[in-house]
Amino acid sequence: MISQEESILSKSNRRTEAALKDIFTNDFRIGAAVNPLTIRTQEELLAYHFNSITAENEMKFASLQPEEGVYAFDEADRLAAFAREHGMVMRGHTLVWHNQSTGWLFEDKQGNPIDKATLLERMKSHIHTVVGRYKDDIYAWDVVNEVIEDEGDGLLRRSKWLDIAGPEFIARAFEYAHEADPHAVLFYNDYNESHPAKRDKIYTLVKSLLEQDVPIHGIGLQAHWNVYDPSLDEIRAALEKYASLGLQLQLTELDMSMFRFDDKRTDLTEPSAELLELQAERYDRIFKLLKEYRNEITSVTFWGAADDYTWLDDFPIRGRKNWPFLFDGLHRPKPAFYRLTELASK
């Protein structure tokens, strides 16, 4: 349901601020993650400021193929139609991931683990069906999401994909996606991508894929950041290192939490002026840095659009409100937005 307040806002609001997509028009596209609810409740904001969307959940494995051979495309189709209607491009997210993949994928009818050949066959069939269907709507896919191990020296995260198919599932996923749509730009996508140890592992993985001639064209930096971390130097070092592989880069899931990751405070009911200023300063510095890499960075997507809807309201602290975006709960520009208007391309 759209509340009365929201409906009045979207009808009466005549925006006078510059559009984000215009501010960065000579630099990169500006995207937002959306879902069937937010394309209604945030439609005016999305249409005005953004020129790219990503489905928040609707194109993940479990959403698209909940049972073997039974596809559910309705919601994903609605999001693709929204992009077309508003002249936006769309990123596809995501084909192979250890989360939000259904149980049946890894098991036979008796519930026993399947073998490698069967898993790769299922993967191929899913990728061909999905990438083929959205060929005309989606220009870039997050083909493989989050396979790097966060802790220790191990390169790859333990998962059913890895247990059953071995490391080869990664290269195969890119090959199947490339077969299904030779024009799609194919990404490896991960979080904590600017932390030095994880950055080096992501680099190692992607480099080895390139050495095997795997069709991979980009690295997605999820960029789930907060107002303190990672440091500008760490972000710059990550951009440099990834760019040295000669691939295009995109920020795919940007948000700027008001809390450090391990901060458990729950007393804040609205952001203080100091926090809003800190966030503004941080967005300003980060976008200045991103503009330096405008030849490598082709798109910056936020993991949402305005503070009325963010996954961070529940993560990592259940029920705690967060305010990670450039627009407030009523879709009005925040101090951070106004700082970015000063970066407009001449």
Catalytic residues: 146, 253
CB count within 10 Å of CB 125 equals: 14
DSSP-based three-state secondary structure for 112: coil
Question: Buried b / exposed e across 146-171, counting CB within 10 Å, b at 16+?
Answer: bbbbeeeeeebeebbbbebbeeebbb
Amino acid type, 173: A
DSSP 33: E
Judged by beta carbon, residue 253 or residue 296, the one nearer ligand GLA is: 253
Judged by beta carbon, residue 222 or residue 248, the one nearer ligand GLA is: 222
Q: Tokens for 323?
A: 């305010």
Residues that bind ligand GLA (CB under 6 A): 93, 145, 191, 222, 253, 311
How far, in Å, CA of 9 to CA of 331, rounded? 9
Q: How far is the CB of 180 from ligand GLA (least distance, A)?
A: 21
Q: How far is the CB of 49 from ligand GLA (least distance, A)?
A: 21
Nearest Cα neighbor of 271 from 229, 325, 346 is 325
Instruction: Name the residue with the smallest CB distance to ligand GLA.
Output: 311
Question: Buried b / exposed e across 43-59, counting CB within 10 Å, b at 16+?
Answer: bebbbbbbbbbbbbbbb
Q: How far is the CB of 311 from ligand GLA (least distance, A)?
A: 4
Q: Tokens for 207?
A: 């480099």
Q: Where are any strands of DSSP class E within 21-96?
A: 29-34, 52-55, 89-96
Judged by beta carbon, residue 225 or residue 278, the one nearer ligand GLA is: 225
Q: How far is the CB of 54 from ligand GLA (least distance, A)?
A: 8
Using left for φ > 0, alpha for ψ between -120 and 50, and beta otherwise, residue 297 falls in beta
Q: How far is the CB of 4 from ligand GLA (least distance, A)?
A: 29
Q: How far is the CB of 101 from ligand GLA (least distance, A)?
A: 12
How far, in Å, CA of 49 to CA of 27, rounded? 15
Using CA atoms, how far residue 273 sits from 270, 278, 284, in Å, is 9, 9, 16
Judged by beta carbon, residue 76 or residue 114, the one nearer ligand GLA is: 76
How far, in Å, CA of 201 to CA of 207, rounded? 10
DSSP track, 122-163: HHHHHHHHHHHHTTTTEEEEEEEE--B-SSSS-SB---HHHH
Nearest Cα neighbor of 66 from 32, 104, 96 is 104
